[in-house]
Chains A and B, each alone.
Chain A
Amino acid sequence: MRKKVIAILLTVTMTAAMLAGCGNSGSSSDSSTEPVQEENTEEPATEEDSATAEEAETAESEAGGGEIKTGGTLRVGTVQSPSVVGFTPEVTNNSFIQYLRCAYESLLYYDEAGNIVGQLASEWEADADAATLTFKLVDGVNFADGTPFNAEAVKWNIEQYIETGRSETNNIDSVEVVDDSTVTVKLKEWNSSSLEMIGFFIYYMSPTTFDEKGIEWMRANSCGTGPFVVSGFDQGVSIKYTKNENYRVEGQPYLDGIDYTIFGDSTTLTNALKAGEVDVLTYGNDCDIMKDLEGITNIITEKNSNGLGVESVGIIPSSAEESDPFYDAKVRQALCYAVDWDQIVTALSYGYYERTNQWAAPGAATYNTDLKGYSYDPEKAKALLAEAGYADGFDTVIYSASTGFQQNAATAISASLAEVGINASVEIIDGAKGNDMMANGWSGLYWHYASVGPDLGLYMGRHLDVNGAYYAKGIQHPQDCLDLLNEIRAAKDETTKVDLEWQLQEKIYDEYALFGMPLYVNAPVHMRYDYVEGAQLAKVHAVTWSPATTWLNK
C-alpha cells in the first residue's frame, strides 16, 4: 500500500510542478498576447465585479437547498503531506493550495466559467506597453491579528516571494505603493500570464505577526486574511484549523474548524471515507479510488470542468542518445502502432479516464481534431521496426510508479510490445527516482505528464526547449518544431496562435511521435459526502475549494 502513496505523490507533484512552472517564463522572449480567457482585462474591473464573486458564492450555496447550518468541524482526508503550512512563500507545491486557501487569500480568483474575478483586489489594470500591473485593494479587510490589510502589506509579501526566488515573481522588477489601497507592480518585461501568476499564486501574510513571531513560528502556524487560522500542525499526521473571528465577510465561515488527516495509504483513506470517518477526500484522482467508491450514492465526486489545472498523461520514449533504439522516429511510430492503447486505458481505468491522442485535452480550443493519430496495427509496427533495422526487436525498460493503474498499464503495455519483438521489463520506481529521471533524462519508456491549461505553447515549451525543465534532457529537439514554437510565442492574435499550435501538434505527434503516445486526461478529483455543502471543490480551479462557504447539512 505504501507504494500506492508514492505513486499518487508522484502524479500530483507532476501536476503541481507543471502549474507552478506555468508562470515561469522560459529564456525565450515572451511577447505572447494575453491568454484567451482574459478578454475583459482591458477595461478596469468595476467594484461590483469583485462583489459579484462573493455573492455568486453565497447565492450558489443557498440554492444548495435548505437554510445554512453553522458550526461543526469538517474532517478532510488526503495524502498530501506539506512540511510548511503558514509561511506562504515556501509553499511551492500547488497541491498544498487547498491548505493555503483555508488561512490565506489571493488578490484575484476565478469564477466557474474560468474568468478572473477579484478577491482581495476590487479592481486591477494590466498595461502591456508600460509592463505594469495595478491593483485596487478592497478596503476594510484585516489580518487575523487585527492589523489592516493594505498596500504596504501587499508590497512586503510580494518582496518575500521574490526573496525566496519563487518562479511566479522572478519577472517582477519592483513594487510601489501608490496609496493606502493601491499597488503597482513593474514587470521586467511584459508577459501575459504574469497577471495570473501574481494575482492567484501569491497569498498574503500579516507582516506584524511575522516580525513578532519569526519564520519558525510562521512555518507551523498562520496569520492571514482567510476564513480560518491554523490551530495545530503535526507534520505528516494532521493539520487543524479554527474559525478566524475577524474574517472580512460577516457570518462566514460557517464551520467552527477543519481537521485535515494525512494518510500514508490510499486504500486506508478510501476505507476511512466509506466508513464515514472523513467527510471530504481531496486528490482522489486515481481510478482505483473512484472504482472503490462506485455505487455509494451519498458520496459525490467533484471534477474540474473549465480545464484549469488539468494535465494529459502518456508514455514517452527516450530519444536523445544515438544508441537509443527510440532515436529513430520510425521506431517511435512503431511503438504507437504496436499497442491497443484504447483497450488498455478504458479497461484498466474502469472507463474513468478519458482518452486523448495529443497534448491538449478534448474540448479545449487547442485540441486538433484532424490529427491523424495511430490505430492498433502490429503488422505495421513490425514493418516499421524492420525498416529501422530492428527486425528481431530489442530490449528496453518501462519505468512506472506503483499506483494500481500505472503498474497494471505498464505490465499490459510490456505484454503487447513483446508481440512485436520489443521486450520491455517493468521496473517500479519511487517518487525520488521519478523526479530525477524527469530532470536529468532516462533510457527506455516513462510516463509523460503534460500540463494542458489554456496556454499550450507556453507549457509545451517547458518540454520542447533545449534546456526546458521537464523531459528535455531525454528527447530530441527538432529545429522545425522549435521554430514553430517561437512563432506561437510571437503570435499576435488568438486565431493565428491556435492554428500554429495545431500545426505543432501534428508535427510532433504524427510526424516525429516525439512525445510517444498520450493516453488519458488526468484532472484532480475530490470526493465529498452529500451533507457537505458549498465547498465548491475544484469548481473554480482544479486545486482550490471555498472553505469559507462550506457548511455541514446534518
Chain B
Amino acid sequence: MIINVLLVLMAFTVWVIIQSRNLFGVIVLGGIYSFLMATVLVAMDAVDVAMTEASVGAGISTVLLLGALYLCRSEEARPMHKPWLPFIVSVAVAGVLVYGTLGLPEFSDPQATIHHHVVPRYLNEIQQEVDVPNVVTAVLASYRGYDTLGETTVVFTAGAGVIALLRRRRKGRSS
C-alpha cells in the first residue's frame, strides 16, 4: 500500500530531523515532511487538505522558517543535560495513545461510527440544501461556517500580532 510506504518515509524523515543539528537542513527536511504529508493526504482522498498542506506546510512555513533562520543565524547547540524527563513524558504520552487507539475502528472500516452519524446528511442532502458539489467547501463555508469565521479571525490575529511584535520604532526606520 502506497500510504504505508509514504508513512514510513515520513517517520524516517522525522528521525533524521531529530538527529540533525543543522537547522537549515532540518527546515528543508521539514518541507519534505510536509510534501510527504500532502501526498499521504491525497492518497487518503483529502484533496482540499492536501492542497492546503502543500501550500502552507511546505510553502509558507518553510519560507517563514528560513526567513527567521536568516535573521537569527544560528546552529543548534549541544544540549547541556540528558533529556530524561522529556523522554519519560513522551513515552507516557505514547503509552496512552497506543492504549487509546487500539480500541479505535480499523483503518477504512465502513462500519465505523463516523460514517453513520452526522456525515450522511452532508453527503446525501447537500444537493437540495446547498447545491455545491465539493462537500468540503459546503461544510466549511456553510454548515460549519462559524468555525471558518473563527479560523479567519485566527489568521487575522496572527497577522496583527506579527505587526505588533516586529514593526520597527519610527526612530529606527529613519536612521
Q: Do A and B bind each other?
A: no
Taking Cβ atoms with an 8 Å cutoff, the residues of B that contact A are none
